[in-house]
Amino acid sequence: MRLTTKGRFAVTAMVDVAMHATQSPVPLTEISTRQGISLSYLEQLFSKLRRGALVKSARGPGGGYRLAKAMDAVTVADIIVAVDEPIDATQCGGKENCHEEQKCLTHDLWVRLNEQIFEFLRSVTLAQLVEQQRAKETRVVELHDPRLSKRPQSESVAA
Amino acid sequence: MRLTTKGRFAVTAMVDVAMHATQSPVPLTEISTRQGISLSYLEQLFSKLRRGALVKSARGPGGGYRLAKAMDAVTVADIIVAVDEPIDATQCGGKENCHEEQKCLTHDLWVRLNEQIFEFLRSVTLAQLVEQQRAKETRVVELHDPRLSKRPQSESVAA
DNA sequence: CCGATAGTTGATCAAATTAGTCGGGAACCG
DNA sequence: CGGTTCCCGACTAATTTGATCAACTATCGG
């Protein structure tokens, strides 16, 4: 479980897909311009996201990406794991080099903390992020038209 | 808030200090051999930890590092922030480039998620990690003495 | 069928970061 | 003193990040 800008880009891009691919797939060029991420980098990220079965692709005109699962079935942890290949902060890396009593402090300690962070990220779904984002956008609209301030807006997209 | 092996090393080293510097300071050479982290790298890390007021140093024979605060006053977030200088995953980086409606998705979305992760890491203290580690070591003893097997193991670290 | 659209793959690359090395000091203790 | 240990800066190799480019395949519209 690493946490860098790479994973953040992936999460951002997934939120973009979740928000815009309701009718038709979203091409990467759209995400690129909307989110300010280079097209080629998005290609790399979505290559991994597709291999991780998080998105489905459609080629040709009108093609693009759409979610492979429902929004509430995709967690932040899923996305980060898909693009950020795992890292082992332990010297022994799962192997059994660490037999000496204290040598395992590194290993066990971090594995536990890692699991806790992972559990947390697994508790945050794409649907929640989208809802938060929609709420934020609604709030901006309210400034111009206060009548539109009653939209919970948590529809679920087909699997 | 980045999350790499660097921060993990720092957390591991801090736990080591917390567990061993009760009487006298712990020299980096000890941590190096115990945790398998290179001495020079530890020097860099502790340079930052000291500047972050997380440890105090003592030179000369019998010197080393010890905690600057109580164990339960130091959080994982403190440690990671001290060694992993902050990063901005947003294109605008706090600036106001992102006025266009959609451009801010990156910014706001990640800031919020980031805060949640940060809050979580801030809820885990060094004292908790030490206690977990001690409990783990105790559990090894239990294998030889099954009577000592009633430890709820202090969970509930969630934010 | 043709050609434009758009995903797919792979090679390549500059810049940044990581993790580690080296060497020289400077303070401290006995 | 003299060794221990922190302190500091420069330097480096390996990796990752973020990005570019090119060739290719599938698909749709006309």
pLDDT in tens, B29-72: 999 988 888 898 999 999 999 999 999 999 999 999 999 999 99
Share of chain B above pLDDT 70, in %: 70
Name the residue facing B129 among A36, A76, A113 (closest C-beta). A113
Report CA Rg, chain B: 19
- In CATH, what class is A5-86+125-135? mainly alpha
Q: Tell me how far apart the alpha carbons of residues B88 and B158 are, in angstroms, rounded to a whole number.
A: 25
Confidence of residue B141 (pLDDT cuts 50, 70, 90): low
Q: Tell me how far apart the alpha carbons of residues A90 and A108 are, in angstroms, rounded to a whole number.
A: 9
- SS3 of residue B2 by DSSP: coil
What was the pLDDT predicted at A143? 56
Output b/e per residue, B66-102; b: 16+ Cβ within 10 A: bbeeebeebbbbbbbbbbbeeeebbeeeeeeebeeeb
CB B34 within 8 A of CB A105: yes
Whether B12 and A116 lie within 8 Å, measured CB to CB: no
Q: Tell me how far apart the alpha carbons of residues A77 and B116 are, in angstroms, rounded to a whole number.
A: 14
Chain B positions touching A137 (Cβ under 8 A) are: 101
Q: Tell me how far apart the alpha carbons of residues B35 and B29 are, in angstroms, rounded to a whole number.
A: 10
Whether A120 and B124 lie within 8 Å, measured CB to CB: no
Q: What is the pLDDT along chain A (159 residues), one digit of tens a residue?
A: 788 888 888 998 999 999 999 888 999 999 988 888 889 899 999 999 999 999 999 988 889 999 999 999 999 999 998 998 766 555 554 444 554 555 556 667 777 777 888 888 899 899 998 888 888 766 666 655 555 444 444 444 433
Q: Tell me how far apart the alpha carbons of residues B103 and B93 are, in angstroms, rounded to a whole number.
A: 12
pTM: 0.79
Chain A positions touching B132 (Cβ under 8 A) are: 109, 112
Q: From the alpha carbon of B5, which nucleotide's C1' atom is closest?
A: C18
A8 touches chain B (CB under 8 A): yes
CB atoms within 10 A of CB A115: 12
**What's the gap in Å between the CA of B82 and the closest CA on chain A?**
16
Crossing angle of helices B126-142/A104-122, nearest 10°? 120
CB B106 within 8 A of CB B90: yes
State the amino acid at position B42 in one-letter form. L
Backbone angles phi, psi at A106, to 5 degrees: -55, -55
Q: With residue A55 as reference, give the H or E element that holds it.
A: strand A55-58
